[in-house]
Amino acid sequence: MTDTTTDSQGVRPHAGIPLEHPDAETAHATERAVFGFWIFLMSDLVVFALLLATYAVLLKGNSSAPGPAEVIELAYAFPETLLLLTSTLTLTFATVALREDRARGVYGWTFLSLALGAGFLALEGAEFAGLINKGHVPQVNGFLSGYWLAIGTHGLHVAIGVVWGLILIAQFWIYGFCPAIRSRLVRFSLYWHMLDVVWIAIFTVIYLPGSLVS
C-alpha cells in the first residue's frame, strides 16, 4: 500500500454551481465555499421559521388593539413582492452571464437586481414610516413586536444583500473576473434567492391572513 493522494482528490461535485472551473483546485475551493454557504442558509432559514412561529403565537394571544385588521395592508406588500421576485429573475440572468463570461451582462443584471432590491427597501421603509405615523410601533403590543421583527429581519437581510452586491460589483471591477469573486457571486445569488423564499413565507403567514381579516 502506498501513500498516494493528491490534495484535490476528495472533491465531491456539487450540483447547481453555475460556473466552469479552470482547474481542480478552483473547483474544490468553490465547492467547499458554496457547500458551507448552503449550510449557513439552512441555519438562517431556521431563524425565519422561528420568527414566523413566534409571530403566530403572539397573534393568537393578542387581545389589545391594534391587530392585523388595523395594521396589515396589501397596498405595499403586493408591489414589494413583485420587485423582489423580479430581482431574483434578473439575478439569475447575472449568474448565467457569469457562466458565459459576459462582463456587461454580469454588471448590468446584478446592478438591476440590486436596484430592484433597493426599490423593495424603499417601499418597505414607506410602509414602516406609515406605521410609525399611526403609532403602530413594536412597543405597542406583542403582535406588533412579532410583525416588526419578522419583517424587519427580512428587510435587514435585503439591505445587507444590497451592500454586499455593490461590494461585489466593485470587486469585479477592481480585480476582474477571478475565480474567488465568481464564487462569491454564486453565493450571493443563493442568499438573494433564499430571501425570496423567505418573503413568500412572510407573505403567506403574515400578509395574506392579515389582509383577509380586514
Partner 1 sequence: MLGRLSWDASPFYGVIPAIAASVVVLAAIGTIVLLTVMRRWRWLWSEWLTSLDHKKIGIMYVVLAAIMLARAFIEAGLMRTQQALGAGAGDVGPVGAEHFAQLFSTHGTIMIFFVLMPFMTGLINFAMPLQIGARDMTFPWMNSIALMLTIGGAGLVMASLVIGKFSTGGWTGYPNFTGAEVNPGVGPDYWIWALTLGGAGSTLTGINIVATIWKERTTGLDHLMWMPLFCWTSLCTALLMIFAFPALTVATVMLWLDRTFGFHFFTQGDGGNMMQYVNLFWMWGHPEVYILILPAFGVYSEVIGTFSSKKLFGYTSLVWATMAIAVLSFTVWLHHFFTMGASANVNAIFGIATMVIAVPTGVKVYDWLLTMRHGRLRFDVPMLYAVGFIVTFVVGGVTGVLMAIPPFDYVVHNSTFLVAHFHNMVIPGSLFGMMAGATFWFPKAFGFRLDETWGRRGFWFWIVGFYLAFMPLYVLGLFGMSRRMATYLHPEWQPWLIAAWAGAGLVGCGLICQAIMLYVSIRDRERLRDITGDAWDGRTLEWLAPSPPPEWNFGARPVVTGRDEFGERKLNDEAYPVPDRTAYRDIEIPANAATAPLIGIFAFLLAFAAIWWMWWLVWISAGAIFLLVLWRSMRFDLHRQVSAETLYQADMAHRRTILAHANGDIGSGAPMRHARGTEGYLAKERREREGQA
User: Nearer to partner 1 by C-beta: 112 or 140?
Assistant: 140
The DSSP secondary structure of 34-51, one letter per residue, reads HHHHHHHHHHHHHHHHHH
Contact set with partner 1 (CB under 8 A):
1-7, 9-12, 28, 31-32, 35-36, 39-40, 42-44, 46-47, 50-51, 54, 57-58, 61-64, 138-146, 149, 167, 171, 174-175, 178, 180, 184
Q: Whole-number minimum distance, CB 185 to partner 1, in Å? A: 13
User: Nearer to partner 1 by C-beta: 116 or 206?
Assistant: 206
User: Nearer to partner 1 by C-beta: 117 or 142?
Assistant: 142
User: Nearer to partner 1 by C-beta: 114 or 150?
Assistant: 150
Helix, strand, coil % in the chain, rounded to nearest 5: 80, 0, 20
- Distances in Å between the Cα of 101 and the Cα atoms of 55, 66, 94, 174 are 44, 53, 10, 16
Contact 131, 71 (CB under 8 A): yes
Q: Whole-number minimum distance, CB 140 to partner 1, in Å? A: 7
151 phi, psi to nearest 5 deg: -70, -40
Q: Whole-number minimum distance, CB 78 to partner 1, in Å? A: 27
Q: Which three cell numbers stand for residue 125?
A: 421603509
Q: Whole-number minimum distance, CB 158 to partner 1, in Å? A: 17
d(CA 72, CA 77): 9
